[in-house]
Amino acid sequence: MSEHNLSSLISKSVHNDELVRISNKVINSERLSPQEGLYMYENAELSLLGALANNIREKRHGDKTYFNKNFHIEPTNICVFDCKFCSYSRFLREKEDYDAWEMTEEQIYDAIKAYDNVDITEVHIVGGVHPKMGLEYFKNLIQNIKQIRPELHVKAFTAVELDYMARKAKVSYKECLQILKDAGQGSLPGGGAEIFDETIREQICKDKCTSAQWLEMHEAAHSVGMPSNATMLYGHLENYEHLIDHMNRLRELQDKTGGFNAFIPLKFRNKNNQMSDIEEVSIIEDLKVFAMSRIYLDNFNHIKAYWPMIGRKTAQLLLSFGVNDVDGTVDDSTKIYSMAGAEEQKPVMTTEQMIQLIKEVGRKPIERDSVYNELNDYSEIMVN
């Protein structure tokens, strides 16, 4: 729909002058203030948020929906921290626990070699913060992975893992990242951001890196030439003000560095963790959160729905609510979400299934690399 038509439709159907005014700002690509963002969150119907977010997505990406061919390695779930929402971590003292794991270096290399003849461009490595695995260990690990498969993009380590590595090795964030970059690391995933508001962070993950440190780590990564993603954990103790505050801090950093590739809202899942008494939010909330992120984050090019956690059907629906990226084929089974009760208990999707998922909603499936160069256009490929 053209901007003019959308604007007149909104003027006719929305009977709230302030909402109409803010909507017109969005249509004219003007930045919303935190107050305007909050007003939209609190007052706009889902259909209005959806129409605006979809309009922005369409202007930026047309019919294209991106995915990449990747797999995950989670070296361990032993973690020194105790995030209340985490269903996955185990303390070192629980090592004998049946679901605690520690991969050996050989197992990690075998996992990489298992993809020798598989058409894959990225490995995503994240895990618990193991007290015995430090910067030196991970530097060697990355060097060896790059020797096995030089062209593979290594997206690795959340700011939480990196903060621990840097502190233990007594180096600055920048030095730590430069060492990993020189070893072959290409970018950072967006995990560990959770919610930046300090009062909420104190309640859900008080012992890991602070919000300021998370932002500082990503700023340092951008300064050494490593791009990154940003996540936001929603649907637990936070309110809309906290979500806007979170996105606002990211928007400010992105203005400064331009180093973020994608924003990924992550829905809190409540199985097997210390926050299981909190009910999961509805799909309406999911759609609202994604649409608002597309509307508010005017300097982020990509909004990603991570399908293993949100589920394939909701990921498809989100393509009409601002999302233009559905992450990867994830040929491996990541455990972070299945242990937390996510939709996908065994997140494996073939390229054909990915193409079908995207084409079913009338979009063009475009395979991308880790930094959003387009690799293959699958829109002409027929799938059953």
Query: Which residues form the interface with ligand SF4 (CB under 6 A)?
Result: 79, 81-83, 86, 88-89, 128-129, 160, 205, 208
Q: How far apart are CA 260 and CA 190, in angstroms?
A: 9
Residue at shortest CB range from ligand V47: 191
In terms of CB distance, is 100 or 129 closer to ligand SF4? 129
Nearer to ligand SF4, 193 or 253 (CB): 193
Interaction partner, residue 194 (ligand SF4, ligand V47, none; CB < 5-8 Å by kind): ligand V47
Q: Are 291 and 315 in contact (CB under 8 A)?
A: no
What is the residue type of 193? A
266 binds, among ligand V47, ligand SF4, none (CB under 5 to 8 A by kind): ligand V47
| Residue type, position 330, single letter | V
**CA distance linking residue 336 with residue 269, whole number of Å:** 10
Interatomic CA distance for residues 278 and 91, integer angstroms: 23
By the criterion CB under 6 A, which residues form the site for ligand V47?
85-87, 158, 189-192, 194, 229, 231, 233, 264, 266, 268-269, 273, 306, 327, 336, 340
Which residue number, 208 or 267, has a Cβ lying nearer to ligand SF4? 208
| Residue 81 contacts which entry, ligand V47, ligand SF4, none (Cβ below 5-8 A, type-dependent) | ligand SF4
Q: How far is the CB of 177 from ligand V47 (least distance, A)?
A: 16
For ligand V47, the closer CB: 231 or 293: 231
- In this structure, what is the dihedral angle of CA atoms 171, 158, 85, 342, given to the nearest 10 degrees? -160
Q: How far is the CB of 88 from ligand V47 (least distance, A)?
A: 6
Q: Shortest approach of ligand SF4 to residue 252 CB, angstroms? A: 25
Sign for the CA dihedral angle at 257, 192, 276, 274 comes to negative
Residue 264, classed as helix, strand or coil, is strand
φ, ψ dihedrals at 83, nearest 5°: -70, 130
Q: Shortest gap between Cβ of 271 and ligand V47 (angstroms)? A: 7
145 vs 205, which CB is nearer to ligand SF4?
A: 205
79 binds, among ligand SF4, ligand V47, none (CB under 5 to 8 A by kind): ligand SF4
Which residue, 323 or 342, is less far from ligand SF4 as judged by CB? Answer: 342
Alpha-carbon span 367 to 119, nearest angstrom: 11
Half-sphere exposure of 246 (CA within 13 A, CB side): 30
One-character DSSP codes across 118-145: S---EEEE-----TT--HHHHHHHHHHH
Nearest distance, CB of residue 357 and ligand SF4, angstroms:
28
Query: To the nearest whole angstrom, how small is the minimum distance from the Cβ of residue 25 to ligand V47?
Result: 29
CA 260 to chain centroid: 11
Question: Closer CB to ligand V47, residue 123 or residue 292?
Answer: 123
Q: Which does 238 bind (CB under 5 to 8 A by kind): ligand SF4, ligand V47, none?
A: none
By the 8 A CB rule, do 49 and 133 touch? Answer: no
Task: Identify which of residues 6 and 79 has a Cβ nearer to ligand SF4 in the complex.
Answer: 79
Query: Where does 188-256 show beta strands of DSSP type E?
Result: 228-234
Interacting partner of 231 out of ligand SF4, ligand V47, none (Cβ under 5 to 8 A depending on kind): ligand V47
Binding partner of residue 265 among ligand V47, ligand SF4, none, CB cut-off 5 to 8 Å per kind: none
Distance (Å, rounded) from C-alpha 51 to C-alpha 55?
A: 6
